[in-house]
Amino acid sequence: MSATPQYLLDAIEVFRNPELLGEGAPLIDLKAFSYDELKTLIVDGLGEKAFRAEQIHQWLYLHYVRSFDEMTNLSKGLRERLARVSRVSTVEHVGSHVSADGTTKYQFKLDDGAIIESVFLPFESHNSLCISSQVGCAMGCTFCYTAKMGLSRHLSVAEIVDQVVNVRRVAGESDEGVSNIVFMGMGEPLHNLDHVIRACAILTADKGLNFSRRKVTVSTSGLVPEIERFMAESNVQLAVSLNATTDVSRSKIMPINDRYDLEELMTCLRELPLERRQRITFEYVLLKDFNDSIDDAKRIVKLIHGIPSKINIIPFNPHPETPFDIPSEETVEAFQRYLIDHNVSCFRRKTKGREGMAACGQLGKPSEEKKTPRHLRKKLEVLREELG
DSSP secondary-structure letter at 360? T
Q: Residues 182-201 vs ligand SF4: string with x where CB under 6 A?
A: -----xx-------------
d(CA 260, CA 237): 21
**Residue of 37, 48, 117, 188 marked active site:** 117
Verify binding: residue 139, ligand SF4, rule CB under 6 A: yes
Provide the minimum distance between the beta carbon of 122 and ligand SAH in the complex, in angstroms, as a whole number.
Answer: 18
Using CB under 6 A, which residues numbered 206 to 225 contact ligand SAH? 219-221
**317 interacts with, out of ligand SF4, ligand SAH, none, CB within 5 to 8 A per kind:** ligand SAH
Provide the minimum distance between the beta carbon of 9 and ligand SF4 in the complex, in angstroms, as a whole number.
Answer: 33
d(CA 119, CA 178): 11
Verify binding: residue 144, ligand SAH, rule CB under 6 A: yes
Would you say 118 and 106 are in contact if contact means Cβ atoms under 8 Å apart?
yes
Query: How far is CA 108 from its chain centroid?
Result: 14
Provide the minimum distance between the beta carbon of 182 and ligand SF4 in the complex, in angstroms, as a whole number.
Answer: 12
- Tell me the Ramachandran region of residue 330: left when phi exceeds 0, alpha when psi lies from -120 to 50, beta otherwise: alpha
d(CA 46, CA 183): 34
Report the residue number, 146 or 312, with the smaller CB distance to ligand SF4. Answer: 146
CA distances from 300 to 140, 254, 280, 307, 346 (A): 23, 17, 14, 11, 11
**180 interacts with, out of ligand SF4, ligand SAH, none, CB within 5 to 8 A per kind:** none
Closest among 291, 288, 306, 296 to 343, alpha carbons compared:
306
Would you say 154 and 183 are in contact if contact means Cβ atoms under 8 Å apart?
no
Sign of CA dihedral 205, 79, 94, 369: negative
Report the residue number, 104 or 221, with the smaller CB distance to ligand SF4. Answer: 221
Q: What is the helix (H) or strand (E) element at residue 310, kind and residue range?
A: strand 309-315
360 has catalytic annotation: yes
Would you say 379 and 372 are in contact if contact means Cβ atoms under 8 Å apart?
no
Using the contact rule CB under 6 A, the part of the chain among 136-144, 174-182, 310-318, 325-333 near ligand SF4 is 136-144
Using the contact rule CB under 6 A, the part of the chain among 26-34, 55-63, 309-317, 333-341 near ligand SAH is 309-317
Using the contact rule CB under 6 A, the part of the chain among 39-47, 79-87, 193-201, 312-320 near ligand SAH is 312-320
The amino acid present at 96, given as its one-letter code, is S
Report the residue number, 208 or 315, with the smaller CB distance to ligand SF4. Answer: 315
Provide the minimum distance between the beta carbon of 338 and ligand SF4 in the complex, in angstroms, as a whole number.
Answer: 24
Contacts with ligand SF4: how many residues (CB under 6 A)? 10
**243 interacts with, out of ligand SF4, ligand SAH, none, CB within 5 to 8 A per kind:** ligand SAH
Closest among 178, 159, 179, 182 to 170, alpha carbons compared:
178
346 has catalytic annotation: no
Binding interface with ligand SAH (CB under 6 A): 143-144, 184, 188, 219-221, 241, 243, 283, 285, 314, 316-317, 360-361
Binding interface with ligand SF4 (CB under 6 A): 137, 139, 141, 144, 146-147, 187-188, 221, 361
Q: Would you please indicate which residues are annotated as catalytic (active-site) residues? A: 117, 360
